[in-house]
A and B are shown apart, each in its own frame.
Chain A
Amino acid sequence: MRKVLRTFFHYLEAAFDPVFEGAWNPVRQLGSLTFFQYWVVAITGIYIYIFFDTTVDGAYESVEWMTGQWYLAGLMRSLHRYASDAMVALTMLHLLREFAYGRFRGARWFAWFTGVPLIWFLFFSGVSGYWLVWDQLAQYVAIGSMEWLDWLGIFGKTIANNFLKPGAMTDRFFTLLVFIHIFVPLFLLFIMWFHVMRLKQPRINPPRGLAWGSLAALIVLSLIFPATSHDKADLSTMTPVLNFDWFFLPAYPLFDAIGPGPMWGAAIGLTLLISLAPVIPRFHRPPAALVTLDKCNGCSRCAADCPFDAVEMKPRSDGAKFDQEAVVIENRCVACGICVGACPVSTPFRQDEELVTGIDIVDPTLKMLRIQTDGAMKAAREQSRAMGENAICVAVFGCANGVGAGALKARAQERGIQAAIAEISMPCTGMLPPSFIDYALSRGEMDGVMVTGCGENACFYRFGQFWMEDRINQQRDPHLRKRVRRERLALVWAAPTEVNKTADAMEQFVERLGALEKEKEGA
């Protein structure tokens, strides 16, 4: 099922790409977009609170007054409503996407686990907001909520009785509801902060274009279809048919259908199921990165590049002349290897048999990566010799979450691309020290190097792709050396479903390399 969902998201993202490009693709910004909607809701909320009357009798009229001022207070009210709805929709998509991509396993359980209370707090925030309008829908929602709570029997009396007969609702109780609607969302924000605290540089702000775009869209919606209320609440009446917000309120019809007990069962069961997803069928964390102290010079690049803040710099413990050393916090490490690519000591040119670097992961180690590279390149050279003298040799460095090893080769063969391809795979392309590119071109006698990985801006390990680009563009240490001819290098970011896109890139790349070879011969 996860596979189907994953493929769905791959196609969805691909569908958005031509319109938004990778950087603005909203499907890859669901978390940050949700954050942005929160700010919209908060600011509009503060604005409409100014005009809100917190008494039972005055609340409804004050909301009606706002709705009447369509160009400002009404607009704010509508935005408040629709941005909240958008938050729910975006959160659910965000949850599904993180689930589909499996970004909740191992050390990444933390963001997932803290995401679960976010759902509850978002739900309570929205529901308590609906109470405050104090219209017929508010009455229905408030009574349903109280009945649901009453089933627990912890209040010693039936709190739904606050809504039983005309006059039962007091200003004091209403003020309590107002407080709930202020403090629950504040708490939501606190948990949102908590949710991303284990991630380095969490993406909490969407790109400006997306932020303005979504805000503008919601403003348009608010203007052409403003939020309205039902009739004023009246405890001596009930409304059989209600216009309904299915983002926040679907639990209430369900509650009417199955009753409070099963409803609690369903809610708690689902919460547990989602919370425990990281340990189903069992908790598995691949072995963490290891630091080899004699090789570490304390430059702290690994700590700067680790997307999960799993490397700490500590005072030197071995008496070496450097003042700090890298220390891995094991229970945060996801074994992506990005730190290996960041370590200046990771270079394949070294002769020593051992090829030990400052920080290394277990599967594969840097040494294993070089062995894999050497082997694949050797096979490619042999293949190219067999294909005839024109065959181009290309080394493709790829990751476990992009176009799979083998898939590209097979497609290239189908298309009859005249190239011998050496495929080298690792957990994340960010693991590749840039010196490997140099190594493949000079020592490995490759005609070109293609670096691939997850779809643009969709790196499974968050930053692998960014750091790789920056290293090649000499915008981040360690740099790819200047002497490496950039025209012999191609970067392709593509999801596993985008084999054709990768093959297209390969076709063009081989053509370009062929032209370069001819030039060389001519010279």
Chain B
Amino acid sequence: MEIYGVSIFYLVPLLVFGPLVVWVLFKVFRIQSLFTLTDEERELRRKHRALVAIQNIESAKSARFKRPKLTPLRILGQGVLYALFIVGIGAFSNWPAYEQTAPGMGQIKLSLTLLGKRVEPCIIRTREELMKLAPNMRRAKSCPRERWPVDAVFMLDGVEVYRQTAKPAGLSSDGPSSFYETFFVGEGEHRVHLTLVDDGGQAPTKTFEQTVRLKVGQALAITMDHEGRVGVY
């Protein structure tokens, strides 16, 4: 949904965080004091800061700010502890390796984004019908925006590995439906087979079938180009 061409999704954070920010400004930063401070209060504040500073001057000479005595034994001990620290950091920054799939596999990724058919067909209004509408609503062709969810079935080497129904995006269900899934498969030839139903019916409205050769560590994508043609890339 849009308001003046801006998706309302951008308003949600504003509505959530706006009041939070205002609350923080007032309760935590107490910014109201910025507006309500009298000159007298400002003067007091200055005085107070000065007093705090005086209170801290002598404290700053305290022994706790002095460097601990560094004996050779201590230096050695610190060295050992720092060594432990960098071993810990260095190790877990690189190791143990993460195996996202067994070595020797390749990857096929299915990513489709397509519009389902409209649930109701467009209406073409006659002259008489148009005259009955308010002047600003007079459009000859009107298309209800809702679209069908899309069903997808994906088979790999004759085995069904994926079956999904994707609802159209958007609050008024007028956006595209998306499918996204990753499959790890061994190297060699594979038969991929995809059927799509985009009109709420049973019969496939689109099928795609192809044999692909996959190498170790190769990543293939089954996706659509701008014209909606499915292909393997």
Residue positions of A touching B, CB distance < 8 A: 16, 18-24, 26, 81-82, 85-86, 89, 110, 140, 147, 150, 153-154, 156-158, 160-161, 164-166, 197-198, 207-209, 213-214, 216-218, 220-221, 225, 227, 235-247, 249, 252-253, 256, 299-301, 303-305, 313-315, 323-324, 457, 466-467, 469-470, 473-477
Contacts and interface: CB of A to CB of B under 8 A. Distances in A.
A324 B48 contact: yes
A156 to B, nearest CB: 5
Nearest to A15: B81
Which of B41, B63, B77, B111 gathers most chain A CB within 10 Å? B111
11 contacts: A110-B28, A156-B169, A218-B89, A221-B89, A225-B90, A238-B107, A244-B98, A245-B94, A324-B47, A324-B48, A469-B62
B162 interface: no
B219 A313 contact: no
A304 to B, nearest CB: 4
Given A241-B98, A315-B44, A213 B219 contact: no
Contacts of A301: 51, 55
B105 A19 contact: no
Interface string B64-96: 111111000010011001110110111011111
Contacts of A164: 109, 111, 221, 223, 233
B137 interface: no
A237 B52 contact: no
Nearest to B64: A23
Contact of B94 (A18, A89, A198, A244): A244
B38 to A, nearest CB: 8
A457 B219 contact: no
B58 interface: yes
B178 interface: yes
Of all A-B residue pairs in the complex, the 7 with the closest CB atoms, nearest first, are A19-B77, A21-B68, A221-B86, A217-B82, A304-B55, A475-B58, A165-B233
Given A164-B111, A209-B67, A243 B58 contact: no
Given A303-B52, A313-B48, A314-B44, A82 B94 contact: no
Interface residues of B, number: 67
A475 B59 contact: yes
Which of A158, A214, A305, A457 gathers most chain B CB within 10 Å? A158
Contacts of A313: 44-45, 47-48
Given A225-B90, A247-B92, A165 B221 contact: yes
Given A161-B223, A477-B55, A81 B62 contact: no
A198 B74 CA distance: 36
A489 to B, nearest CB: 15
B202 interface: no
A473 B83 CA distance: 38
A26 B82 CA distance: 11
A247 B93 contact: yes
Contact of A158 (B51, B64, B178): B178
A388 B45 CA distance: 58
A252 B100 CA distance: 10
Contact of A243 (B82, B97, B107): B97
A319 to B, nearest CB: 15
Contact of A473 (B62, B176, B218): B62
Contacts of A246: 92-93, 96
A237 B217 contact: yes
Given A214-B82, A221-B90, 19 more contacts: A85-B93, A89-B88, A150-B180, A207-B67, A216-B82, A218-B86, A240-B100, A240-B105, A242-B98, A244-B96, A245-B94, A247-B89, A253-B98, A304-B51, A313-B48, A315-B38, A323-B47, A473-B63, A474-B58
B128 interface: no
Contacts of B89: 82, 85-86, 89, 218, 221, 247
A19 B58 contact: no
A477 B59 CA distance: 9
Contacts of B69: 21
B62 to A, nearest CB: 5
B106 interface: yes
Contacts of A216: 82
Contacts of A209: 67-68
Which of A150, A238, A243, A244 gathers most chain B CB within 10 Å? A238
B61 interface: yes
A303 B52 CA distance: 8
Contacts of B221: 164-165
Contacts of B107: 238
Contacts of A86: 85, 89
B59 A238 contact: no
B14 to A, nearest CB: 15
A198 B89 CA distance: 32
B113 interface: yes
Contacts of A160: 111, 180
B19 interface: no
Contacts of A218: 86, 89
Nearest to B94: A243
B56 interface: yes
Nearest to A473: B62
Given A86-B89, A164-B223, A256-B100, A23 B51 contact: no
B162 to A, nearest CB: 14
Contacts of A473: 62-63
Contact of B48 (A24, A303, A466): A303
A305 B47 CA distance: 16
B201 interface: no
A242 B85 CA distance: 23
Contacts of A166: 233
B59 A466 contact: yes
A417 to B, nearest CB: 28
Contact of B41 (A140, A304, A315): A315
Which of A164, A198, A208, A457 gathers most chain B CB within 10 Å? A164
A19 B74 contact: yes
B44 A157 contact: no
A466 B62 contact: yes
Nearest to B69: A21
A314 B33 CA distance: 12
A241 B97 contact: yes
Contact of B218 (A236, A249, A475): A236
Nearest to A82: B89
